[in-house]
């Protein structure tokens, strides 16, 4: 996000004008936490289609847990 874009999106009235301000507000659960969290609502994902298989096994062992590295996009597509 560009500097100042958050202010233009309506968070400026809460003193949140850049990504650093947004991160600070969420991490510290500041006075405008709800507004900052609601701003991020479009970025929330649902459970992946088809669910997760073998959640107990690591991804490199054929499961779904762990670091997928370059294959994360497949999971994100299933979660949109």
pLDDT digits (tens, 9 = 90+) for 26-78: 999 999 999 988 888 777 778 888 777 777 777 777 777 778 788 888 888 88
What is the DSSP code string of 25-37?
HHHTT-TTHHHHH
Q: Exposed/middle/buried for 1, CB within 10 Å: 0-12, 13-18, 19+?
A: exposed
Length of the chain: 80
What is the Cα–Cα distance from 75 to 68, expressed in whole angstroms?
Answer: 9
pLDDT tens for each residue of 13-31: 898 888 889 999 999 999 9
Residue 79: per-residue pLDDT: 83
**Other CB atoms closer than 10 Å to residue 5's CB: what's the count?**
13
Residue 60: per-residue pLDDT: 76
pTM (2 d.p.): 0.49
């Amino acid at each position: 996000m560009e500097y100042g874009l958050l202010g233009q999106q309506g968070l400026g009235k809460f003193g949140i004008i850049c990504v650093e301000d947004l991160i600070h507000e969420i991490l510290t659960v500041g006075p405008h936490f709800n507004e900052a969290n609601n701003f991020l609502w479009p970025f929330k994902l649902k459970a992946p289609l088809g669910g997760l298989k073998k959640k107990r096994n690591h991804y490199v062992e054929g499961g779904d847990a762990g670091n997928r590295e370059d294959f994360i996009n497949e999971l994100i597509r299933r979660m949109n």
